[in-house]
Amino acid sequence: MKSGNSRNPPPDAQGPPAGGPTLLHITLNTGRTTEYRDAELDPNVYACLQPLLVERAGAIPGIPGFAVAWQCRRDTALVELSHRGVPVVECGLAWGRREASSLWEFLNESAGTMRLPTKTSCKAPMPSMPRLPWIAEVLLPGIATLPVADAIRLGGFERCLGLALLRHHVERN
């Protein structure tokens, strides 16, 4: 979600300086893991997400029909993305150790029945919790009803939201 706009918002809307740790983005259904750096989050995107960061819920900017809501618990956030009221993705973001293990277990239990089987077994074991910070997603059955382009855009939004939540956490502490 890089913006082609060269104008930067005022410094107070940009969040803390970019360059923090990389965020691991894990899709638990498939095992795909990707790293994203805070510097990749365009300051305009961070500014655009500010209302969501304050309200912890709302329509997803630029993706009509989609909404996001989350709850924070100490050093984690449980996020739900929905399309016209139907949950399509559940995510967990962890930036600290206090609640990370329980969130990781919860998400893996949710993904258990939807995880793609491996060649060696029909039931894949729960993967080990990665290093912090991470955002792990579980694709819910409702994702299958979406146009492919919308599903792909959600992945980009998850990354941006995860990075923005990390920045927001740093700002508040």
In terms of Cβ atoms closer than 10 Å to its own Cβ (0-12, 13-18, 19+), residue 91 is buried
2 pLDDT higher than 60: no
Residue boundaries of the structural domains of the chain: 20-91+135-152
User: Over the stretch 72-120, which tens digit does the pLDDT of each residue have?
Assistant: 999 999 999 999 999 999 999 999 999 999 999 999 998 876 655 444 4
The whole-number pLDDT of residue 19 equals 54
pLDDT tens, residue by residue, 16-70: 344 566 899 999 988 899 999 888 788 898 899 999 999 999 999 989 999 999 9
List beta partners, residue 67.
59, 82
Please give the model's pTM, rounded to 2 decimal places: 0.80
Query: pLDDT at position 173, please?
Result: 62
For 110-151, write each residue's pLDDT tens digit: 887 665 544 444 555 678 999 999 999 999 999 999 988 888
The token duo for 90 is 């559940």
Helices 148-172 and 43-55 pack at an angle, to 10 degrees, of: 80
Residues 6+ apart with CB under 8 A from 12: none
Q: At 23, list the tokens.
A: 């965020």
Amino acid identity at 133: P
